[in-house]
Amino acid sequence: MKKNALLKKLQKNYDLLLIFALPLAWYIIFMYVPMYGLQIAFKDYTPGMSIWAGDWVGFKYLNQFFDSYYFKDLLLNTILLSLGTILIGFPIPIIFALLLNEIRNKKFQKLIQNVTYIPYFLSAVVIVSMLSIFSDPQSGIFNMIRQFFGLEAIDLLSKPEYFRSLYIFSDVWQFMGFNAVIYIAALSAIDPSLYEAADIDGATRLQKIIHISLPEIKSTILILFILRIGSTMTIGFEKVYLMQNPVNLETSEIISTFIYKYGLIKGQYSYSAAMGLFNNAINFVLLVVANTLSKKLTKHSLW
């Protein structure tokens, strides 16, 4: 009976399958074939071999990575940069949206919102160029500010200790407005009678933010937070790579940039595929953990 129903559905809607055929083919070729190709992480694959060939070597390359002297630093750099971006970059758009929501002059509100979107449209190359312009010891604004406070002028981009701050805060600058859009939309959907009731009870503006606005957008915040945790290990290669220079590698070398250098520049395919697999696996675990926690604590879940 059930089989018949399926057959009927197939017969009637086969053209939906036809429409889907092209994208499905794309997913198989460009998403699943590379996943299958991850097997070279466990093989001795060298340039020139036919695709996914080579003798099986088991965990040789993964172990080589774990045993390498740079493993700890790479992992630490990746995690610190990523956590910093989440800890600072995640709450700021929420605070910004709450702030914007409190501005009573609608025109002024719209103006701020539109202005803060602009940086979203700039490329990583432009952002890093601007960082380098502002870090200039002679004419950069960063150093003008430093000198104003009696500090010496330095090229911030070439100092490993400033790399993370530069990365994180330029990210906040670029994406604060864009990332806030979701929260602004969620805030504007709150039932105004809630605020009116609070007014009658004599609540202050701050109390209304804490007891009405925030709880009302909680589910949006949580879902975005889980998603964000799930991409911990995939922090933007593009910007990090552009910000790197020989003197700041100590803190700026992360797993993805290292994979690029070892894999594509040095041609150590198997080894860098193993590093990629490791990176991906951590990411996947983090996502599952974050989702399980959220499900337990708040009943919000991605699946």
Partner 1 sequence: MKVKNNNKIKLSFEDKIFNIVINILGVALMVIVLYPLIFVVSASFSDPDLVQKGEVFLLPKGITTRAYELVFENKDIWIGYKNTIIYTVLGTFINITLTILAAYPLSRKNMPFRKVFTLIIIFTMYFNGGLVPTYLLVKNLHLDNTIWAIVIPGAITTYNLLVAKTFFENSIPEEMYESAMLDGCSNFRMMINITIPLSGAIIAVLVLYYGVAHWNSYYSAMIYLRDPDLNPLQIVLRDILLVGNTEQMGSNSVGMEDKVKMAEAIKYSVIVVSSVPVLLLYPIVQKYFTKGVMIGAVKG
Q: Which of residues 248-277 bind partner 1 (CB under 8 A)?
A: 256, 259-260, 263-265, 269, 272-273, 276-277
Choice from 97, 166, 224, 290 touching partner 1 (CB under 8 A): 224
Q: Is 133 one of the binding residues for partner 1 (CB under 8 A)?
A: yes
Q: Is 24 one of the binding residues for partner 1 (CB under 8 A)?
A: yes
CB of 82 to partner 1, least distance (A): 16
Q: Which 151-190 residues touch partner 1, going by CB under 8 A?
A: 157, 173, 176-177, 181-182, 184-186
Q: Which stretch binds partner 1 (CB under 8 A): 57-65, 67-75, 77-85, 130-138?
A: 130-138
Q: For 201, phi and psi rounded to 5 degrees?
A: -75, 0
Q: Which stretch binds partner 1 (CB under 8 A): 35-43, 56-64, 70-78, 81-89?
A: 35-43
Torsion of CA 248, 282, 177, 95, to 10 degrees: -100
Q: Which stretch binds partner 1 (CB under 8 A): 58-66, 74-82, 159-167, 240-248?
A: 240-248
CA 153, distance to chain mean position in Å, is 32
Q: Is 38 one of the binding residues for partner 1 (CB under 8 A)?
A: yes
Question: Which lies closer to partner 1 via its Cβ, residue 104 or residue 296?
Answer: 104
Choice from 96, 163, 167, 175 touching partner 1 (CB under 8 A): 96
Question: Which lies closer to partner 1 via its Cβ, residue 71 or residue 173?
Answer: 173
The two structure tokens encoding residue 205: 């503006």
Give the separation between CA 181 and CA 184, rounded to whole angstroms.
5
Alpha-carbon torsion (70, 76, 77, 78), positive or negative? positive
Give the separation between CA 150 and CA 153, rounded to whole angstroms.
9
Q: Which stretch binds partner 1 (CB under 8 A): 57-65, 67-75, 160-168, 202-210?
A: 202-210
Q: Is residue 167 a contact partner of residue 156, using CB atoms and an 8 Å limit?
A: no
Of 249, 246, 282, 277, residue with least CA distance to 83? 282
Place of tokens 């695709």: 51
Q: Is residue 173 a contact partner of residue 119, using CB atoms and an 8 Å limit?
A: yes
Choice from 77, 82, 85, 116 touching partner 1 (CB under 8 A): 116
CB of 47 to partner 1, least distance (A): 9
CB of 67 to partner 1, least distance (A): 20
Place of tokens 């602009």: 118
Q: Alpha-carbon Rg of the chain, whole angstroms?
A: 25
The size of the interface with partner 1 (CB under 8 A), counted in residues, is: 108
CB of 255 to partner 1, least distance (A): 10
Q: Is 85 one of the binding residues for partner 1 (CB under 8 A)?
A: no
Give the separation between CA 86 and CA 185, rounded to whole angstroms.
21
Half-sphere exposure of 271 (CA within 13 A, CB side): 20
